[in-house]
A and B are shown apart, each in its own frame.
Chain A
Amino acid sequence: MRIHRMILLAAALGLSACVTINIYFPAAAAEKAADKIIDEVWQLKDGAKPPAGAQPKETK
């Protein structure tokens, strides 16, 4: 049973490491935010054709 506890503890530690990783820069979210702001600043939204690399459609 003690070994089980230790393994559980190790798993918990491993998970907290995962949470720590999420504190690192969220690149995909940043890209989405950048796209949204750039579209507004450059007024690209209406009538602008999406670039070749098909952007995911943003839901409003």
Chain B
Amino acid sequence: MSILIRRIATVLALSLPLAAVAQGNLEINTPAITSLKGAMQSRHGQLAPYYASGAVGIARDGSIVLRDANAIPLAQRQTATGLVAAENNDRAALYREIARANGHPEWEAEVRSTFGQRWADKAQPGWFVQNAAGQWSQK
């Protein structure tokens, strides 16, 4: 019996590094992800004032929302709407690409919800974020 236990222990020990590898990092260095990141980074400069004024908020689902159009001067509203739409397109593509780059397209929704949580956590003081119940609050 002790031989058996030793064998099982050996098999278990051998399988541990496998588990460690599987728990490592997600692949995020693909050309598609890099270019989406770049587009989002350069758009951020234009979106930041809208986050600060509360016109645009960080939604729980990993997107952003034009939550108070009145906070934006009329002349800029169309631009802001376009920025929000473009950002949400890129974010959706980003979540899809991360899932795909890691060989699991079905992970897209979970990638999205992970991001939803982290965008909200990292939002700057004064920005509006949405909680799990859908309510908005100012950080």
Contacts and interface: CB of A to CB of B under 8 A. Distances in A.
Contacts of A15: 11-12, 15
A36 B122 CA distance: 11
The B contact surface, by secondary structure, is helix
A33 B28 contact: yes
A4 B8 CA distance: 11
A37 B28 contact: yes
Contacts of A8: 4, 7-8
Interface string A22-42: 110111111111111111111
Contact of B115 (A11, A12, A38, A40): A38
The A contact surface, by secondary structure, is helix
Interface in A40-54: 40-44, 51
Contacts of A26: 22-23, 26
A34 B24 CA distance: 14
B107 A25 contact: yes
Contacts of A27: 110, 114
A52 B17 CA distance: 32
Contacts of A25: 104, 107, 110
A25 to B, nearest CB: 4
Interface of B: 3-4, 7-8, 11-12, 15, 18-19, 22-26, 28, 33, 37, 40-41, 44, 94, 98, 104, 107, 110-111, 114-115, 117-119, 121-122
